[in-house]
Amino acid sequence: MFAAAKSTSRYTILDRQPATFRQMMGRWEALLAMLMVAAFAICSVALPHFLDLRNLFDATSNFSEKALIALPMALLIICREIDISVSGILALSSVAMGLAHAHGVPPGALLFVALATGTLCGALNGILVTRFALPSIVVTIGTVSLFRGLCSVVLGDQGFTGYPAAVTGWCQGYYFDLVPRPFAVLLAFAVLFTLVLHTTSWGRRIYAIGNNPVAARFSGIAVDRYRLVLFMVTGAMAGLAAFLLTGRIDSTRPDIAFGWELEAITMAILGGVSIAGGAGTIGGVMLAVLTLGTVTYGLSLANVPGIYMTIVVGVLLLVTIAVPRLLGGRKVAK
């Protein structure tokens, strides 16, 4: 009897090992980690100056503000929503900073101007989606045109420059004379979003809404309230990105951050966030951010035209979507 139990137990353990390995290798995070390591290794061998620590950290300026928007975008997509207007919110927040500075608002208050503008824009999106039951993709396609239009009306073909040294100096500065401050801000918020999504009841409810909003509503979750808050958080993060970007480049232009909404969505989807909702991790999003950053930095060192980055992103998306399905096996229709 004991021998049989022991044999059965041993058989069960051995039988489960291959499935466990296949599940592990089919995870988005594992694939992204392998892609990042491969890209890092190839660039290290092919490009002599790739491993310069100063250059590596400076290269984070290519994605830090975009990734700040990708973090709340991931939460929205998990909730089966999306915000196409984030680049317009960023632009309008930057314009609000310029107007505030031109009217004598103290430098220390410009951050709050950007955050307030972004939050109000996010609230407008959230109210239209939750109170009027409009599709978020339609609403935010409309509001991105609205926000960009307001920027064009205010700026015309001009721009705001000459921001206070307190703002530009901070946004262009470094921690420990090595780590750019926008990148440090990104890491801090990545930790915060990870804790909220993966260790709190808020996070569990966000997943519940994404998996089945009707069941979540019947279980007592205020679905519309969560969606509204997430749109406001996304707007606020776009406002924060506007402050950092405006301070770093010391200017506000009508086309600032043009097209960033697609890059933020790409970071989230490439990071394993399911477009159908209910699945995804902040860790996966950050791996996607670092992978894209590594590839972009390598291509720039190799003097490859930026247009080819679009092709690279497309290939990475296809690989990341297809390989887990191939490793997991095809589902048989019944």
pLDDT (tens digit per residue) in 47-72: 888 999 999 999 999 999 999 999 99
- Predicted pLDDT at 19: 42
Q: What is the mean pLDDT of residues 169-195?
A: 97
* Non-local CB neighbours of 185 within 8 Å, separated by 6+ positions: 64, 68, 240, 244
Please report which residue ranges of 131-256 form alpha helices under DSSP H: 136-155, 165-171, 181-199, 201-211, 213-218, 223-249
Q: For residue 200, what is the DSSP state?
A: S
For residue 272, CA distances in Å to 77, 219, 247, 318 come to: 11, 27, 31, 12
Which of 32, 229, 260 has the alpha carbon at shortest distance from 125? 229
pLDDT in tens, 276-314: 889 999 999 999 999 999 988 998 888 888 777 778 777
**H/E element, 295:** helix 282-301
The answer to whether residues 84 and 140 touch, using CB atoms and an 8 Å cutoff, is yes
Answer yes or no: is pLDDT of 114 > 90.
yes
Rounded CA-CA distance 47/301 in Å is 7
pLDDT in tens, 28-42: 788 788 888 998 999
Class level of CATH domain 28-324: mainly alpha
Q: What is the mean pLDDT of residues 216-239?
A: 96
- Predicted pLDDT at 35: 84
- Predicted pLDDT at 10: 38
Answer yes or no: is pLDDT of 80 > 60.
yes
Rounded CA-CA distance 217/296 in Å is 42
- Predicted pLDDT at 303: 86
Rounded CA-CA distance 257/169 in Å is 21
Q: What is the mean pLDDT of residues 187-202?
A: 97
